[in-house]
Amino acid sequence: MKRESFGRIGDIALACAVSVLLWECLSLAVGARTLTPPLETAQRIFALLGQAGFQNDLIATARAYFGALAIAMAGGLALGTIFGGWKAIGEPLEPGLHVLVATPKVAFYPVILLLFGLGDAAKIAFGVLHGLPPVAIITANAIRELNPIYRKAALTLRLNRLHTAWRVLVPAVMPEILGGFRIGFGQVLLGVLVGEMFASSRGVGHLLMASIGVDDQPTILAIVTLVFLFAGTGSAVLLALAERRKA
């Protein structure tokens, strides 16, 4: 396991080095005005992190994001368990989640604004709208394809439906659930940022939109890089947890 871990860390480090090198080459090819080079982007990141205004934007985004993430993961797990565990409920209702996944979420934004107004509530709702459906669908499919022996064991132990779900079904498909959480992790972040870009007076998404409006390339690249690093780190952690559960 240790050798595999070191090998994976080496692969990640190599991929990062190659990406930075390609970024630098592309910046030289198209010009620093069009694509800010890596060193200047890193300097801009540290400059932003030291600004009180950016710190406030970061806090606003974090508050909305983690609230939306908690709702999306808990709600997706609950719905997925119900839809996958009880066919009579899942068959008529789950197709609606598939339709929701395929629908551009921007179309729902006027409705969300009408219901929640401007502020954190709208951003959280938009994040949940992005992240909850994939978590629920993946959880439902995993439970539906579970070996029937688990349900037979629950019947033998005379567990009620709640205990069957919590003590048997969910633990049995935990690696798949963590895989769903990986997707939800990124989707919720996308939803919150898009919500801030469209209708918010604060937050990282709002700052990104303002930077695009004034063509502030260093700030744009700095924000995109920060978002990429955060999303990549979270995804890597959830992937490691899922593989540990499989082992």
* 130-163 pLDDT per residue, tens: 999 999 999 999 999 888 888 888 888 888 888 8
- 147 sits in the region (left: phi over 0; alpha: psi -120 to 50; else beta) called beta
* Contact by Cβ (8 Å): 124, 192: yes
Distance of alpha carbon 8 from alpha carbon 78, whole angstroms? 33
Residue 119 has what pLDDT?
79
CA max distance for the chain: 69
What confidence score (pLDDT) does residue 1 get? Answer: 47
pLDDT of residue 29: 87
What local confidence, expressed as pLDDT, does residue 5 receive? 57
pLDDT of residue 122: 87
pLDDT reported for residue 7: 61
Element spanning 238, H or E: helix 217-246
pTM: 0.87
Q: Which residues of the chain fall short of a pLDDT of 70?
A: 1-8, 247
What is the token pair recorded at 18?
């190659």
CA distances from 175 to 71, 154, 179, 202, 246 (A): 20, 20, 6, 36, 6
